[in-house]
Every structure is written in C-alpha cells, then in structure tokens.
Copies of this chain bind each other. A is one copy, B any other.
Amino acid sequence: MIVSHQNSIDLINVAKQTRLAAMKLAVLSTEQKNQAIEAIASALESAKDEILSANIADCEAATKAGIAKPLYKRLQLDEHKLRDTITGVRNVGKLADPVGAVQIHREIDTGLVFKRVTCPLGVLGVIFEARPEAAIQIASLAIKSGNGVILKGGKEAINSCEAIVKAVKKGLSQTAVNPDAVQLLTTREETLELLKLDRYVDLIIPRGSNSFVRFVQENTRIPVLGHADGICHLYVDATADIDKAVTITVDSKTHYPAACNAIETLLVHRSIAPQFLPKVATILQELNVELRGDKLTRDILSSSFSNIETATEEDWETEYSDLILSIRIVDTLEDAIAHINDYGSKHTDAVVTENKEVADTFLALVNAAGVYHNCSTRFADGFRYGFGAEVGISTQQMPPRGPVGLEGLITYKYQMRGDSHICATYTGANAKKFTHQDLPIDG
C-alpha cells in the first residue's frame, strides 16, 4: 500500500509538471511551436541508431515471450518506418495552427466586446499499445495543438518508447517548449493512476482493443476520445446498381478487415437479394470471407454455397475485425435503418441505391457519425477526409464525432473586454439595451 500511495504522489507531481509546461506552451506563437516540431524531427534523426537498437531489444524480448505475429509487426520499428514517421512529424508542422482562431467576435454594448478564441485543452493522457511510433505522432500533435502530453506505451515497446521520448525531450530542450510538456509512463499501475487524475488531465485518448477502450471509458471521469466498437453496415436497397453494390461490399469488407471502418453486416433488400447475393458471395468467398446469413440468405445461397453458417443475434452485435461477414435480408428501407440504429455503433454506415429519395432518407435517419451513399465505408478516416492528422475516431453522439483532427485537442474560451461595464446597467426599470452586433472575425 505504501508503494502504491508513493506512486500516485509521484504521478501527481509528473502531472503538475506537465501542466506547468503546458501552460507556457499554450501561449507560444505558431512559429515557436513549429520550431519545436522541427527540433523533434531533427533529434529523432540524430537518435536514429539508439532508437532502432532499443526497438531490436524490444523485439527480441517479445520473440522470447512468444508474442503473436500481428502484434510483433506493430512493435517492429525499422529504419523505413522511422523515416516515414519523422516525415509525418514535419507534416504536422505544416498543418494550420488550431489555436488562436477567433470563432465569434461580438460587441455587447459600446466598449464591451467579446471574442470566442480557440485554446489548447491542457494536458492529454494518451495510452497506446505496441506501436512505438505512435509516441512520435502523438507528441508532435500535442505540441502543435499547444497541449502537454503524458504518454503510456505498451509494455512490449518500453525500450523503444524510452529512446523516443528521450530524443523528443532532447529536441525540445533547444526550443521555447519545456521538455516537461512530454512525459512517458512505463507501468500498468501508472495507467490506472492516470485515469484518476481528473484534476490534472483534460482528455484521455486510448488506442487499442475494444475491451481496453471500454475499460478506460468505464474507469475514468476524464473525457475520453475514441471508440470501443466499429460495427459498420452496408445496406443494398431494392434500387441498387448490382455491380456498384458488389464493388462497394468487397472494398468495405476486405480492403482492411481489421479496421474499425470495415463493415461487419450486410443488409439486403428482399427484392434484390436473389440477383445480388450469389454474385457477391462468389467474390467474397474467393477472397476467403466467411459468410453467415439469416434464414432467407441461406435459402437463396444454399443451392450454390454449402458453407453459409446461420447468423444469430450475437452476430449482429459483433465486430469481427476479420474476414467474416453477417448477412440479413430486410423487407424495407425502414427495416434496414431500424437494424442499423439498433445494432450499429454510430461509426459509419452506407447505402447503395440509384434512388435519390432512398439515399436522402438513409442519410437523414441513420444515426451515425458517417452516413454514406454509393461509396465504401473505408473512407471514414481523418486523412481521407483531408484533416491532415487524425487523433482518433469518436463514436460518441456529442461533438467531436467521427474522424477527429487537431480540432479534437482544443477548446475555446470567451475573452470579454470592457471599461468598467457592470450588469446593473442592463437590468431594472431603466435597463440599457445590448447592441449585440457581430464584428469582423479578424478584428
């Protein structure tokens, strides 16, 4: 117990240090922040050998521990990957500064004016798994958005992360940004402590498995940016072009099945199912996709395909993250929408139809961050949306929602300036009226 108490005091001190550094970082100019980002890039280049050696040590330890192959691939950081990541750092430097934007500029009365101005959130807590280069990406996004960041990498990547953060801090030490703005935690106990620091940490970004994200969401009072499930749907309406439906189904399922924006369930209108299903099933099975269908689907496919399992209630609620697709036949567009709103995760859902009215209804009534017509759900991604950098995809109902760029790392404040203005002037019998006049936004 003494150790645990000591740990939480240490972590509170780390968080306080980060907050102090973040306060100073918050008011730096765009140029100063960009210089710091360039310094990070250069420092990482200089520390290349050290980082790659550390990563080799991590990989050797992981091999000894019998790590799973996909995890090993994510852990591995070769020269090529490191170079690309450093290019990514420099690209963050080129992004527009999200801080200091005037969103509202309004006169309340003569001489009393307010502005709503964007500002950093404060301190971010980012918990990620094996990929060590995530530490680099996140640190550069944090600096660009004026935030301090407390990083916690996967335990497999501990040597890599330590080498990376050492280089980042060394780079920052030459700049206006205090190196305390970027911190690294290394133990699981610290992660649990971090989730309790709602006085010091303003946003938690968990990157990892669904169950991990859900654990974080359920065990902190700090706002969480991210998503647990990505149960995306494609609905092929009676009015669909069958070739388009096949093309979009295949891309949405197979282009990268482990991604959160891949579809898990295909909904098909009853009237088009006999024509569409055999075509798409043939191609999907060639691509090794396991199909699970409701009774009607299996009836239609049973003559040509012997291996279609029955889809159960559990299937509609499952994110396979794998080459598996559940198929359900619906009687109407409304049934499709109801299924999606019941079982979906508000991530991204698409309709294939040549009928504009059907498309409009689907896009209006499906409750998801992304509602698509005649295109693949795989477009749900910050880079593809043109946001430059993605800090995560949110499936919450409240903004920020969907793929979130740097704007997810900022908030705003109302700055009011007056000259002895008081509220008593505007109340009571002789109340003065407010002018409420919008002023030029750059004024």
How far apart are the CA atoms of A13 and B42 in the complex, in Å?
60
Interface assignment of A47: CB less than 8 Å from any CB of chain B: no
Interface assignment of A18: CB less than 8 Å from any CB of chain B: no
- B373 near A416 with CB under 8 A, answer yes
- B251 near A370 with CB under 8 A, answer no
Interface assignment of A413: CB less than 8 Å from any CB of chain B: yes
How far apart are the CA atoms of A114 and B372 in the complex, in Å?
9
How far apart are the CA atoms of A391 and B414 in the complex, in Å?
17
Interfacial chain B residues near A423, Cβ < 8 Å: 251, 255-256, 376, 378-379, 384
Residue among A223, A374, A397 with most chain B CB within 10 A: A397
Partner of A384, one of B251, B398, B434: B434
**Contacts A108-B385, A384-B426, A422-B375: A417 and B114 contacting too (C-beta < 8 A)?**
no
Chain A 392-438 interface residues, beta-carbon cutoff 8 Å to B: 396-399, 401-403, 411-424, 426-427, 434, 436
- A378 near B422 with CB under 8 A, answer yes
Interface assignment of A121: CB less than 8 Å from any CB of chain B: yes
- B255 near A417 with CB under 8 A, answer no
- A417 near B386 with CB under 8 A, answer no
Interface assignment of A279: CB less than 8 Å from any CB of chain B: no
Partner of A424, one of B27, B202, B251, B399: B251
Interface assignment of A300: CB less than 8 Å from any CB of chain B: no
Interfacial chain B residues near A370, Cβ < 8 Å: 413-414, 416
Q: How many copies does the complex hold?
A: 2
Interfacial chain B residues near A9, Cβ < 8 Å: none
Q: Would you give the 0/1 interface string for A375-390, flagging 1 where the beta carbon is closer than 8 Å to chain B?
A: 1101110001110000
Partner of A416, one of B26, B365, B372: B372
Interface assignment of A165: CB less than 8 Å from any CB of chain B: no
Interface assignment of A168: CB less than 8 Å from any CB of chain B: no
- A375 near B424 with CB under 8 A, answer no
- A108 near B384 with CB under 8 A, answer yes
Q: Would you give the 0/1 interface string for A42-72, flagging 1 where the beta carbon is closer than 8 Å to chain B?
A: 0000000000000000000000000000000
- B413 near A375 with CB under 8 A, answer no
Interfacial chain B residues near A386, Cβ < 8 Å: 106, 108, 434, 436
How far apart are the CA atoms of A101 and B396 in the complex, in Å?
20
Interfacial chain B residues near A26, Cβ < 8 Å: 364-365
Q: How near does chain B come to A394, taking the closest CB pair, in angstroms?
A: 10
Besides the contacts A250-B422, A370-B413, A372-B417, what 20 more A-B pairs have beta carbons closer than 8 Å?
A23-B341, A23-B367, A114-B385, A121-B398, A122-B397, A217-B221, A218-B221, A241-B420, A243-B420, A363-B413, A368-B413, A371-B415, A373-B415, A373-B417, A375-B418, A375-B421, A375-B422, A376-B422, A378-B423, A384-B423
